[in-house]
Structure 1
């Protein structure tokens, strides 16, 4: 990997921003709000921002359950805000992304050509969903401050408002660092090395080996370049023989 030290520095910075964001969101609901509970009261709603920040992948379903249950207990309409629309859309698209990813890359019978063709869309969709969830989280915490702060109001910049604004900045910083790391070409696995390894391990690689190699490529466009490299390598071998 090129610039390994820079990569590790960026990765550590992103991890630190994410961990501090989790600390901030817990501090917010435990210190400024009513804490955490599951009784239909205000404390139950606080699970929503906590789980959105800490459980984008594993706990996001429970976060949706918490906010719907709170709204139902408080007789508040569901799905009326842009935050709720985009949040539910992100959850649905994430589930679709997961299903398609499993179908394409974990089922052995899927043709390698399909996997290579789907990879650019799979990578783009993942980055888009990650960015969208951060945007939805920012909308949600701002909405909560506007509706929740009465005296003083959000516009008066009380300590809670400033604290949560810093949380929003940390989330943007975390997202920006992750996107920068994920899109750095010099930090992607070189596809030529993967194809060279398969070639030297036995020549005619079968579909499962090619699929395994493609599953390691971070960008589907490299798969086509790797195919050209394999053709050139085979042609060179024929000429040498």
Structure 2
């Protein structure tokens, strides 16, 4: 029997969608209004794609993809379509992330700036590396038909843990990146970062939105009453195209 999701679940989803949209829109507005807009030519305007795409990919799309199995609609009928949706949303998040990395590496190389020297970059590249491993492992073990239920049961808690860990690392990377960008951008201006000019207020607020979004995703993931019920009977192998999956 399917447990009915409470009104709080749908309210949380509505709030989550609003926060996620605001995270992306606020980042776009920051880059457009204060940092001069966007280009794809190796200039600083190419860099501006980096924060937008990383927030969209590693935080918003990734967070949304993580919650597919919390939807009550996924608790009944074939599980395969939800597996495919889960994998596809994560793949979209990864594509946005890779394009965001291309933007920042191209800008750095074009401007003869060192890569991967800051804590922000270490956090970010670690999150991306784990994300790639997580997606490949999930595709190979949970979507393709070869893995036994024993192996899936063994790896599922690890898969879930690293899902939350990657999101947490992504949020830490975004927050440190916002801070780093403000320090570099405002260090030689008439109103430095410590005087809290309007750009700093707006960017800090964007960071707080990202934190709020991430915390809400983690809350929904950890809320036991919103988890997908375990099926009563499971076959030893679940083929990729089996209707019952």
Q: CA deviation at 1:107?
A: 1.9
Query: Structure 1 length normalisation: TM-score?
Result: 0.80
Determine whether 1:148 maps to 2:172: no
Match 1:51 to one of 49, 53, 69: 53
- Once the two structures are superposed, residues 86-118 of structure 1 have per-residue CA deviations (whole angstroms, 9 ceiling, x without a partner) of 111111111000111111112212111000010
Instruction: State the Cα distance separating 1:17 from its structure 2 match.
Output: 0.6
The yes-or-no answer on 1:86 pairing with 2:123 is yes
Which deviations, in whole Å up to 9, do the C-alpha atoms of 1:93-144 show, x marking residues without a partner? 1100011111111221211100001000000000100111011011001100
* Alignment equivalent of 1:168, drawn from 207, 216, 235: 207
CA contact (8 A) 2:149 2:236 kept: no
CA offset at residue 189 of structure 1?
A: 1.9
Query: Contact (CA 8 Å) 1:44, 1:70: kept in 2 or not?
Result: yes
In the aligned structure 2, how far is the partner of 1:208 from the partner of 1:73? 49
Q: Distance in 2 between matches of 1:185 and 1:128?
A: 18
Number of matched pairs: 204
TM-score, structure 2 length as denominator?
Answer: 0.79
Offset at residue 55 of structure 1 (A): 1.9
**Contact 2:147 2:237 (8 Å CA) reproduced:** no
Root-mean-square deviation (CA, aligned residues, Å) is 1.9
CA distance in 2, matches of 1:131, 1:206: 33
Superposed, 1:177-216 pairs within 5 Å as 177-191=216-230, 194-195=231-232, 205=235, 207-208=237-238
Q: Which has the higher contact order (CA 8 A, sep 6+)?
A: 2
Q: 2:175 aligns with which of 125, 132, 138?
A: 138
> Which structure 2 segments of 5+ residues have no match?
59-92
> Stretches of 4+ moved more than 4 A in 1?
none
Runs (5+) with no aligned partner, structure 1: 199-204, 216-241
- Give 1:100-119 correspondences, 5 Å limit: 100-119=137-156
SS at match of 2:232: helix
Q: What is the CA-CA distance between 1:206 and the residue it aligns to?
A: 5.1
Equivalent residue number for residue 73 of structure 1: 110
**SS at the partner of 1:77?**
coil
In structure 2, what is the Cα distance between the partners aligned to 1:98 and 1:73? 31
- What's the secondary structure of 1:75's corresponding residue? coil
